[in-house]
Amino acid sequence: MPVETLRWHGSLDGSLRIIDQRLLPGELKFRELRNVEAVFEAIQTLAVRGAPAIGIAAAYGVFIGVRDCPDDSSTFRSELKRVCKYLAGSRPTAVNLFYALDRVQALADDMAQTPAGEIKEAILEEAHKMLREDLDASRRMGENCQQFVKDGATYMTNCNAGGLATGGYGTALAAFYIAKEQGKKVSVFACETRPLLQGARLTTWELMREGIDVTLICDNMAATVLRQGKISGIFVGADRIAANGDAANKIGTYPLALLAREHGVPFYIVAPLSTFDFSLKSGDDIPIEQRAPQEVTHFAGRASAPEDVGVFNPAFDVTPAQLITAIICETGVAQNPDMAGLQALL
3-state secondary structure the chain: CCCCCEEEECCCCCEEEEECHHHCCCCCCEEEECCHHHHHHHHHCCCCCCHHHHHHHHHHHHHHHHCCCCCCHHHHHHHHHHHHHHHHCCCCCCHHHHHHHHHHHHHHHHCCCCCHHHHHHHHHHHHHHHHHHHHHHHHHHHHHHHHHCCCCCEEEECCCCCHHHCCCCCCCCHHHHHHHHCCCCCEEEEECCCCCCHHHHHHHHHHHHCCCEEEEECHHHHHHHHHCCCCCEEEECCCEEECCCCEEEECCHHHHHHHHHHHCCCEEEECCHHHEECCCCCHHHCCCCECCCHHHHEECCEECCCCCCCCCCECEEEECHHHCCEEEECCEEEECCCHHHHHHHC
Phi, psi angles (nearest 5°) of residue 155:
-130, 170
Is omega for the bond preceding 70 within 30 degrees of 0, making it cis?
Answer: no
How far apart CA 204 and CA 208 sit, in angstroms, is 6
Assess whether 338 carries a catalytic annotation. Answer: no
Residues in the chain: 346
50-to-6, 113, 147, 283, 328 alpha-carbon distances in Å: 12, 35, 25, 19, 17
How far apart CA 214 and CA 75 sit, in angstroms, is 52
Tell whether the torsion through CA atoms of 168, 174, 177 and 183 is positive or negative: positive
Q: Which of 219, 239, 246, 277 is catalytic?
A: 239
What is the set of active-site residues? 239
